[in-house]
């Protein structure tokens, strides 16, 4: 069993908030289980993140047979709160890649960004609110799509100084920033 969590950022009517994304791998037949009151768009983002991960097994050093021998459970806690939108794609992919590679996720990193099947990270809305939620939570590094760079101007400069913003175009850049090396066994 391997459990990995990543921290995504969400926009809500009350502002931004961080969301934990848990991934658990267990013996099974390759079933994808999604829980936590996810809407259709969030479910599609999880499927896209899994498809990307499966397509990159050689690059990531993952045995492709694992996808047929393990069930994958993705859960977003606080099930009473509906969750939807594409902006968790990068966090979903990061959690999946962490689980399959054994590389831990840095605890001081949060992220936002839609992911494509080929690993591009697309711009999202609500960046100001998401970044401020990350800062309030003590996040030191916030990953966001490069095409959202102009949204940083909406964040007061004195608040931007407390967080390192990493602009990305591809999920490989997210992984480089968010994942630590695998522990030596």
87 classed as catalytic = yes
Q: Is 147 a catalytic residue?
A: no
- Residues whose CB falls within 8 Å of the CB of residue 184, separated by 6 or more in sequence, listed in order: none
CA distance 36 to 82: 8
Q: Are strands 164-168 and 2-12 parallel, antiparallel or unpaired?
A: unpaired
* Active-site entry in 6, 45, 87, 98: 87
93 contacts: CB under 8 Å, gap ≥ 6: 49, 52, 53, 115, 119, 171, 174
Alpha-helix runs per DSSP H in 9-156: 40-55, 57-60, 66-69, 89-101, 127-136
Q: Which of 45, 98, 110, 130 is catalytic?
A: 130
As a residue count, the chain comes to 185
- The tokens for 178 are 């968010």
Hey, which residues are catalytic here?
87, 130
């Amino acid at each position: 069993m391997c459990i990995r969590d990543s921290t995504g950022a969400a926009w809500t009517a009350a502002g931004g908030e961080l969301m934990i994304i848990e991934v658990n791998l267990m013996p099974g037949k390759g079933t994808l289980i999604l829980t936590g009151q996810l809407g259709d768009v969030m479910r599609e983002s999880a499927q896209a993140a899994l498809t990307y991960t499966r397509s990159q097994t050689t690059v990531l050093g993952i045995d492709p047979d694992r996808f047929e021998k393990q069930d994958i459970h993705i859960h977003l806690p606080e099930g009473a709160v509906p969750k939807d939108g594409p902006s968790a794609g990068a966090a979903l992919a990061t959690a999946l890649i962490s689980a399959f590679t054994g590389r831990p996720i840095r605890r001081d990193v949060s992220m936002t960004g839609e992911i494509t099947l080929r690993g591009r990270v697309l711009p999202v809305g609500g960046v100001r609110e998401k970044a401020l939620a990350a800062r309030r939570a003590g996040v030191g590094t916030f990953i966001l799509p490069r095409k959202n760079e102009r949204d940083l101007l909406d964040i007061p400069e004195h608040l931007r100084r407390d967080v390192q913003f990493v602009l990305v175009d591809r999920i490989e850049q997210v992984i480089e920033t968010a994942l630590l090396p695998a522990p030596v066994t």
